[in-house]
Amino acid sequence: MPLSTLSLVAEPESLAAVPPLTWALAVSPVVLLLALVLWGRFSTIVNASVTVAYSVAVAVLAFGAGGLTVGVGLGKGAWVGLWILYVIWPALLMHHLATHVGMKALGQALSTMLPRRTENVLLLAWVLPSFIQGVSGFGTPIAVAAPLLVALGIGKARAVALPLVGYHWAVGFGSMGSSFYMGALTAHLDSPGRAAYAASAAVLLGVNCVLSGVLVALMDGGLAGLRNGWRLLATAGPVMALVQAGTVRLEPGIGALCAGASGVAVVFVLRRFSARDAAVPARYAAVPARYAAVPTGEGATEEAEAEAEYTRMRARAAAVPYALLGIVALAVFLPPPLRSWAKGHLLIGPSFPQTSTHQGTVNEAVSVYNPIALLGHPGTFLLIACAGSVAVWASRGIWKGSAWGPVWRGALKQAWKSSPSVVLLASVAGVLVDSGMVRTVAQGAAVATGSAYPAIAPLVGALGSFITGSTTSSNALFSSLQADVAHLIGEPPADLLAGQLAGGNIGNSLAPVVILLGLSAVGAARRTGEVLRMTLAPAVVLLLSAVGCTCLLVAIHH
């Protein structure tokens, strides 16, 4: 997600109490949206439309937002929705291109990357999306990983739920550190403060890195999944956590990138030294028959050998877009001068006037709101990867011009189903933010808990990202508040900010707009409630971990 340009009112010297009714009204749109999604009786577009209408009514009647404030809030949200769609549309195009040339073959290849099925699920739902998150922002890892998991034989809803849980820990230092830096800048941290913030955040995210792998294995196969995936869990988890912790002490912006890359390296080491046997219970090792490998080697017929080679060729072809995506993103984002230039030039974004409410919330005017950096946006990288892939396939005789018809039709059909819901859900966030409801919820929690606030800090971060679908936006909203509360209760700001970041990552995995992005990539846009129900229990476990670690760090540093 791009760095938000939100401007909030100046922080008060002390936090004022929030009347219980006001707090309940402020949180009610979130409760309504969550209840509708979990109920699952209506489509996402109906749930989002109802929530938008209710949010506007509460903003006007209870929070003194006039027509201009509501209109600007809706406009900001709609623009954020378009920002997101510039990820969804190219991701759908990439998926349909890869499907046309051999996604099923790629699923077969990945299903045998390591000896056990759960290990390969962990590769696609835990390690690979974490690496992608290091360079490519909002939702791209889910849009990439979910189709691969479907090709592995995982159901569509579960194929979205697994990486949502698995990659969440990489969001904090992912996208070249955008979420972390937003928190540091909004909280006005100096250099030592940023270093302390990075160190504390690395502890929380490192613990949840290991824990998320365990949860993915449990979601895939229960206790048997843990037994089958223990080697990768025991090696890649600690390695990724430690590499991130070491890297962020030098450069936070590449923490998730280096951690994800180290996890990929562990996979290749395990592959190199693994005995490729099939001594795994059929329930957890079997791959659907349509992906089963063709017999090769001694005793195989020439026809079978030829078919096996054809399958391998198709798998390599389907992998080209994902390889090019990584190469393009790394080439742009790794060199700091090029990264700064790409993010600072060719910006497209609307301007909005200053607005205010009768309750005292002021939203400063912005000249370019949440700009799309055409040369630094994940959607651009996806489009370049798509174009490069077609060029590679055409040069090898794999791609024919007549293939464009079914590819475009399939991508447009899926895009049409999900796009209105994305814009509506983002519009909910715009109204809640500009009317002051989001800030009211956080302030009320801070006042009510006092010295026990460290246990609430991750929940505040999760609330922000659940609403906005972005840890970066959550940090823009609440990092300054977290730092002020830390000073008021005499606790280290770095630890509360780390809790905010960890909680934001978890809320990001529950955000309906992020879930919808993943479902759009696999053509199942109406199953948002099913995915949310799958991810809710793991998210609670991860939140409890973040709360416990935040409280422990505060106690140690007090």
Would residue 7 count as lying in a domain?
Answer: no
* 175 dihedral zone (left: phi>0; alpha: psi -120 to 50; beta): left
Would residue 347 count as lying in a domain?
Answer: yes
Would residue 14 count as lying in a domain?
Answer: no
Listed residue (240, 219, 218) closest to 227, CA to CA: 218
- Give the mean pLDDT of 476-490: 76
CA–CA distance, 240 with 127 (Å, rounded to integer) = 9
Listed residue (14, 17, 31, 26) closest to 434, CA to CA: 26
Listed residue (173, 185, 336, 183) closest to 253, CA to CA: 173
CA–CA distance, 169 with 173 (Å, rounded to integer) = 8
Other Cβ atoms closer than 10 A to 166: 31
Res 176: pLDDT:
62
Domain that holds residue 405: 20-557
Would residue 1 count as lying in a domain?
Answer: no
Residue 145 tokens read as 């990983």
Would residue 407 count as lying in a domain?
Answer: yes
Band of the pLDDT at 94, cuts 50, 70, 90? confident
CA–CA distance, 234 with 238 (Å, rounded to integer) = 7
Q: Is 2 a residue whose pLDDT tops 70? A: no
Res 111: pLDDT:
67
How many structural domains does the chain have?
1
Cβ atoms of 362 and 11 within 8 Å: the answer is no
Strand partners, 348: 372
Q: Is 64 a residue whose pLDDT tops 50? A: yes
Listed residue (176, 241, 255, 172) closest to 207, CA to CA: 241
Q: What are phi and psi of 451, to 5 degrees?
A: -70, -15
Least confident of 102-111, 160-169, 229-238, 251-260: 102-111
Q: What are phi and psi of 169, to 5 degrees?
A: -65, -25
Provide the mean pLDDT of the chain.
Answer: 83
CA–CA distance, 326 with 316 (Å, rounded to integer) = 15
CA–CA distance, 121 with 441 (Å, rounded to integer) = 38
Residue 27 tokens read as 């949180």
Q: Is the pTM of this model over 0.75?
A: no
CA–CA distance, 86 with 333 (Å, rounded to integer) = 19
Q: Percentage of the chain surpassing pLDDT 90?
A: 32
Residue 465 tokens read as 């990202």
Res 243: pLDDT:
94
Res 137: pLDDT:
59
Three-state secondary structure readout of 147-177: HHHHHHCCCHHHHHHHHHHHCHHHCCCCHHH
Band of the pLDDT at 381, cuts 50, 70, 90? confident
Angle (nearest 5°) at CA 131 between 128 and 132: 90
Percentages (nearest 5) of helix, strand, coil residues in the chain: 75, 0, 20
Q: Is 86 a residue whose pLDDT tops 90? A: no
Residue 114 tokens read as 């390591």
Q: Is 288 a residue whose pLDDT tops 80? A: no
Listed residue (442, 444, 425) closest to 512, CA to CA: 425
Other Cβ atoms closer than 10 A to 202: 26
Res 67: pLDDT:
93
Res 11: pLDDT:
40
CA–CA distance, 30 with 3 (Å, rounded to integer) = 23
Q: What are phi and psi of 489, to 5 degrees?
A: -100, 5
Res 138: pLDDT:
60
- Give the mean pLDDT of 521-525: 81
CA–CA distance, 294 with 32 (Å, rounded to integer) = 51
Select the more confidently predicted residue: 234 or 422.
234
CA–CA distance, 507 with 539 (Å, rounded to integer) = 8
- Give the mean pLDDT of 11-25: 75
Q: Mean pLDDT: which of 87-91, 254-258, 319-323, 496-500 is highest?
A: 496-500
Kindly report, residue by residue over 69-83, the tens digit of the pLDDT. 999 999 988 888 887
Q: Which amino acid is at 338?
A: L
Strand partners, 372: 348
Q: C-alpha dihedral over 176, 196, 451, 486, to 10 degrees?
A: -70
CA–CA distance, 372 with 5 (Å, rounded to integer) = 12
Least confident of 134-143, 160-169, 317-326, 420-429: 134-143
Element (H, E) at 409: helix 404-434
Q: Is 438 a residue whose pLDDT tops 90? A: no
Res 494: pLDDT:
93
Question: Rg of the chain's alpha carbons, rounded to an integer?
Answer: 23
Residue 409 tokens read as 């039709």
Q: Is 552 a residue whose pLDDT tops 90? A: yes
Element (H, E) at 225: helix 191-248
Cβ atoms of 446 and 485 within 8 Å: the answer is yes
Q: Is 472 a residue whose pLDDT tops 90? A: no
Res 182: pLDDT:
73
Q: Is 223 a residue whose pLDDT tops 70? A: yes
> Going by C-beta distance under 8 Å and a sequence separation of 6 or more, which residues neighbour residue 513?
81, 84, 422, 425, 426, 469
> Going by C-beta distance under 8 Å and a sequence separation of 6 or more, which residues neighbour residue 235?
266, 269, 270
**Number of H-type helices and E-type strands within the chain:** 22, 4
Residue 37 tokens read as 């999604």
Q: Is 320 a residue whose pLDDT tops 80? A: yes
CA 533 vs. chain centroid, Å, equals: 17
Q: Is 173 a residue whose pLDDT tops 50? A: yes
Band of the pLDDT at 378, cuts 50, 70, 90? confident
Q: Is 104 a residue whose pLDDT tops 60? A: yes
- Give the mean pLDDT of 41-55: 87
Res 282: pLDDT:
40
> Going by C-beta distance under 8 Å and a sequence separation of 6 or more, which residues neighbour residue 268?
none
Q: Which amino acid is at 229?
A: G
Would residue 4 count as lying in a domain?
Answer: no
